[in-house]
Amino acid sequence: MKLEAQTMGRKGPLTISTE
């Protein structure tokens, strides 16, 4: 979850996905 949130935040909007 942390890794995904950081990666998404870098791309643009901060989106926390539980995938």
SS3 content of the chain, % helix, strand, coil (to 5): 55, 0, 45
Residue 6 confidence (pLDDT): 62
Residue 7 confidence (pLDDT): 63
Q: What is the pTM of this model?
A: 0.05
Residue 3 confidence (pLDDT): 65
What average pLDDT does the segment 1-19 reach?
Answer: 62
pLDDT of 11 higher than 60: yes
Residue 18 confidence (pLDDT): 62
Residues 6+ apart with CB under 8 A from 14: 5, 8
Q: Where are the beta strands (DSSP E) in 1-19?
A: none
